[in-house]
Structure 1
Amino acid sequence: MAITAEPLHARPRPTEELAWLGDGWPEFVFHDGETARHLGRIRELFAGLELVLLDHAEERAGKRAEERAGNGAEIVAAGWAVPLRWTGAVDDLPSGYTDSLARALDAYDAGDPPDTLAILAAQVRPDRQGRGLAGKLLRALRDLAAAQHRVICPVRPTRKARYPLTPIDRYADWTRPDGTPFDPWLRTHVRLGGRIIATAPRSQVITGTAAEWQRWTGLELPDSGEYVIPDGLSTLHVDLDADRGSYVEPNIWVQHR
């Protein structure tokens, strides 16, 4: 498997080559209003920080280049990051994913040179998971950082959805008998030299009407209260009198060398 990384926008990408990017994410994460306010400018200003991994195995097999994006290579992973300012102190970390977007735009608008790269997404195509591509993608994203830059990541722990009632601080401390993190995505980061430095209990706040949450989760919400929702890292709070549901997504901050 010959794997290379290149900017997402280095060449035209057929839509079908990236159709899988929405897979594996719960629908509700795409409805964060605060994030939506920032993403347009983020994608415009920092397009050079969006990467894809290409598998060139099909080129070696003799397939014609025009059959796949990337001169015959197949897109097998993708991720992106933003540049921001951070002092290195835990109490100066962004509050999470959404705040990282705001901090990146604040630094840009103020003309402040960034000193930190925040990796905000890294995804492997579902049919290619379990082959070490996540680590390759994280390394490629880390390499985007200038030598003087710190690298941080608000990690969405993949197994936390099985334990939505457990506070994120406790979950972050869980380990396996060998001392490595209990969560497999956290474990990947740590094996690449990352270290857990803090939790982000309010990385994203997603709100909507009861009808919207029913559509996003596939659940009926017949009463006000707390609900365990599919793929939720915490619970959904529903107030039917106010016709409002609110979900607070926790993440875990990892700093890379």
Structure 2
Amino acid sequence: MEIVTRTDHPELQEAATVAFRERWPEFIFHDDVSRQHMGRVRTYFARYDVMVIDDGAVLAGGWGVPMAWDGTVQDLPSGYDEALVRAVEGREAEVAPTTLSFMAAAVSASHDKRGLAAVVLGELSRRAHEDGLGHVIAPLRPTCKHRYPTVTMAKYAGWSRPDGLSIDPWIRTHQRMGARVLCPAPRSMVIEGTVAEWEAWAAMVFPVTGEYVVPDALNLVMIDREGDRGVYVEENLWVQHS
């Protein structure tokens, strides 16, 4: 088993994409901010796009972006989208980064429960510290929050087990690595589309205007049938690693 960057093994790009997509709902791949910036992210920050491979198979992967952050809650981006923009625009403006933000990590379903997500995050952290970045943060998308779409992230993040760790498996993974919760990321992703597009992404029908519970969505999706528009504003959770 070894850790490599995607650019080290271009022949595994397709396998890596498959491993990532199986863990995420379809609507996540229709974020305009990601679409506009991901090409430059892959070019600028290839060092922070890693995979765990074994005998030619992709077991897990993850990526992050270096950006400027002054270490205060007030200076945090509003979430995933703004972190992506800050990283890309900062690179183009030659602003020195101080921080690595984890953006995503995924483990192939056939290799789950082996601690590989922590391996990926640990490698990204190692690279950040090696490069002199003083902070490591992440706008987490908690694994089980979709079961409670009407509950605020602030309230959900406060729910804990008797051992004091979060009820959420993904938050627990970060806590066990020494991370602490900072605050919600209130406008982490904004995904918009026509009603027909949302019906395709969600595999469900939206017969009237209103807010809907959509499978795997952390918050409600607002559907406006008269305006032919669906809008989803996802709230995530900022954590900081020690």
User: TM over 0.5: same fold?
Assistant: yes
Q: TM-score, normalised by structure 2?
A: 0.95
Q: Which residue of 2 aligns with 1:26?
A: 25
Q: Once the 2 structures are TM-superposed, how far is the Cα of residue 201 of structure 1 from its aligned partner? A: 1.6
Q: Which residue of 2 aligns with 1:240?
A: 225
Q: Which residue of 1 aligns with 2:171?
A: 186
Q: Which residue of 2 aligns with 1:111?
A: 94
Q: Which residue of 1 aligns with 2:63?
A: 80
Q: Distance in 1 between matches of 2:201 and 2:232?
A: 12
Of 147, 151, 157, the residue aligned with 2:136 is: 151
Unaligned runs of 5+ in 1: 56-71
Q: Structure 1: which 4+ aligned runs deviate by more than 3 Å?
A: none
Of 99, 102, 116, the residue aligned with 2:82 is: 99
**Alignment-mate amino acid for residue 5 of structure 1:** I
Q: Distance in 1 between matches of 2:60 and 2:133?
A: 27
Question: What are the Cα deviations for residues 14-69 of structure 1, in whole angstroms up to 9, with x where unaligned?
Answer: 455322221121100001112211111111111121100123xxxxxxxxxxxxxx
Unaligned runs of 5+ in 2: none
Q: Which residue of 2 aligns with 1:61?
A: none
Q: Distance in 1 between matches of 2:154 and 2:68?
A: 25
Q: TM-score, normalised by structure 1?
A: 0.90
| Aligned: 1:250 with 2:235 | yes
The answer as to whether partners of 2:3 and 2:50 remain within 8 angstroms in 1 is: yes
Q: Distance in 2 between matches of 1:15 and 1:170?
A: 38
The answer as to whether partners of 2:12 and 2:58 remain within 8 angstroms in 1 is: no
Distance 1:230 1:184, change over 3 A: same
Question: What are the Cα deviations for residues 65-111 of structure 1, in whole angstroms up to 9, with x where unaligned?
Answer: xxxxxxx3432001111110000000100110010110001211211
| Aligned: 1:11 with 2:9 | yes
Q: Which residue of 1 aligns with 2:37?
A: 38
Question: Secondary structure at 1:13's aligned position in 2?
Answer: helix
For these two proteins, the number of residue pairs brought into alignment is 239
Q: Distance in 2 between matches of 1:102 and 1:148?
A: 18
Question: Secondary structure at 2:154's aligned position in 1?
Answer: helix
Q: Once the 2 structures are TM-superposed, how far is the Cα of residue 123 of structure 1 from its aligned partner? A: 0.5
Question: What are the Cα deviations for residues 198-222 of structure 1, in whole angstroms up to 9, with x where unaligned?
Answer: 1102100111111010000011110
| Aligned: 1:171 with 2:156 | yes
Q: Distance in 2 between matches of 1:43 and 1:17?
A: 17
Question: What are the Cα deviations for residues 104-153 of structure 1, in whole angstroms up to 9, with x where unaligned?
Answer: 01211211110100110111111111111111111011111034421001
Of 180, 195, 198, the residue aligned with 1:210 is: 195
Q: Distance in 1 between matches of 2:191 and 2:41?
A: 19
**Alignment-mate amino acid for residue 3 of structure 2:** A
Q: Which has the larger radius of gyration?
A: 1
In the TM superposition, 1:221-232 aligns within 5 A as 221-232=206-217
Q: Distance in 1 between matches of 2:201 and 2:90?
A: 34
